[in-house]
Homo-oligomer: A and B are copies of this chain.
Amino acid sequence: MVSIKDIAKQSGMSPSTISRVVNGKKYVNPEKREQILKLIEETGYVPNKAARSMVLQRSFTVGVVIPDTFNMFQRQLFSVIERNLEAFGYHTLFFFVKFEGKSEMECLNRLKAEKLDGVIMLQEIKNPEFYSYLEKINLPVIIATFNYGEIPCIHVDDEQAAMDAVNHLINLGHQKINMISGQGFSFGSLRAEGFFRALEGAALPRDETRVIYTPYYTAEAGMYGMREFLLRGRDFSAVFAATDELAIGAIRALEDEGIRVPADVSVIGFDDIEISDFMMPRLTTIRQPIKEMGEQTALSLHRLISGNNNIMEELVLPYRLIIRESTRALPR
Contacts and interface: CB of A to CB of B under 8 A. Distances in A.
Nearest to A281: B280
B44 A50 contact: no
A26 to B, nearest CB: 24
Interface secondary structure of A, over-half rule: helix
Nearest to A222: B278
A278 B79 CA distance: 24
A47 interface: yes
A49 B91 contact: no
A204 interface: no
A93 B280 CA distance: 37
Interface residues of A, number: 45
Given A91-B110, A219-B274, A223-B278, 18 more contacts: A44-B112, A46-B112, A47-B113, A48-B54, A50-B50, A50-B51, A51-B54, A54-B54, A68-B79, A75-B75, A82-B94, A86-B96, A93-B93, A94-B94, A219-B275, A220-B274, A251-B280, A279-B280
19 contacts: A1-B137, A46-B109, A46-B112, A48-B113, A49-B113, A49-B115, A50-B51, A50-B53, A50-B59, A50-B115, A51-B54, A68-B83, A86-B96, A92-B94, A219-B274, A219-B278, A223-B278, A252-B280, A255-B280
